[in-house]
Amino acid sequence: MAFAAENVPARRVAKSRFVVTGAAGFIGSTVVDHLVALGAEVIGVDDFDPWYDPARKRANLAAATQNSRFALVEADAADVIGDVLEAGDVVIHLAGRPGVQDSWGLGFAGYARRNIELTQRVFEEALGVGASRVVYASSSSIYGASSDGELRAPAPISPYGVSKLAGEQLAGVYAERGLDIVSLRYFTVYGPRQRPDMAMHRMFEATTPNDTVFVRRGDGLQRREFTYVGDVAEATILAAVAHGAGGRVLDIGGGESASLLEVMAAIEHLAGPMRTETVPLPAGDPLITSADLAPTVASLGWMPTTPLLDGLRSQAAWHRARRVYRSVADAV
């Protein structure tokens, strides 16, 4: 995987020790690879939650685990974060329970534990040990239907969005006690290693010769600001070390909006016909998301550099490589 890290101060990164929670996930493993490539010492914490296949997560860390600058702690971060952290560490807190639709009903208990209780635990231990900064992974879901235009204010319309906003509010509480925290609101991240529940992953898999069907929710006209995972990793690392970022809450978006129908057409162009079916638009799904990158540019000097079609090409190549690997494994 190529690293878009030309904006990152490599010497400053290499001097720091990073603790990354959720290190084996889609975004977490990409951040880990970037950090290791920049010369940093990285401690990754992940419990390989079976919410989706742990084998996928282990594959995400295949390269990092071969590097002497990376160490993996396989445990629930809530149980070990106090033992792992040292004074002066930079914490990138990516662990949590993602996804809007599973957060309804009884599913919210898992979101409360992994997105709220765990976040409070990380902040508490980081404050106690004297961590230099915590980067907290928030979400565009905190905006609900209000991220576009002048109505930009936290107003979540899903339990998942509520859980991520609670993390931001906890950040404010711990900032009052002296903890340096940067909260990043990620907008619809895509690219290699994308989780199997996410739309683009399901779209690509629905173009393969199997029985997978992409279930489109609604008419497909809903628009998203799609953000390439390599750009997200770069922004996250910059937020961890940028002098002017402390205490900020920043949108991390791709700078490019597209409808679901437009993305489906692009993926069919890259990968072939897609099997689809349509269901009604569910609760908690906003019609438009749009990032405000002006404060992010001012604080981090960062802008996304990966056009949507280029990012989709990278994800398509990753899906093809996974299929080849599975075919070879099945033949052995």
Which residues have C-beta within 8 Å of that of residue 326, sequence separation ≥ 6?
A: none
- Residue holding tokens 């662990």? 95
* Residue 211 half-sphere exposure toward CB, CA atoms < 13 A: 0
Structure tokens at 19: 């603790």
Checking DSSP bridges between strand 189-190 and strand 17-21, what pairing results, if any? unpaired
323 phi, psi to nearest 5 deg: -65, -40
In one-letter notation, the amino acid at residue 136 is: Y
10 Å Cβ neighbour count for 117? 14
- Angle (deg, nearest 10), helices 118-129 and 159-176: 20
Which residues have C-beta within 8 Å of that of residue 309, sequence separation ≥ 6?
A: 266
Q: Could you give the C-alpha distances from 136 to 25, 186, 229, 323, in angstroms and in order?
A: 15, 10, 16, 34
- Within 152-222, strands assigned E span 181-186, 189-190, 214-217
10 Å Cβ neighbour count for 15? 12
Residues in the chain: 332
Alpha helices per DSSP H over 85-138? 108-111, 118-129
Q: Which of 136, 160, 186, 228 is the catalytic position? A: 160
Q: Is 160 annotated as catalytic?
A: yes
CA torsion, ordered 243, 98, 286, 315, to nearest 10 deg:
80
Q: Could you give the C-alpha distances from 207 to 222, 299, 308, in angstroms and in order?
A: 22, 40, 19
**H/E element holding 270?**
helix 260-271
Q: Which residues are catalytic?
A: 160
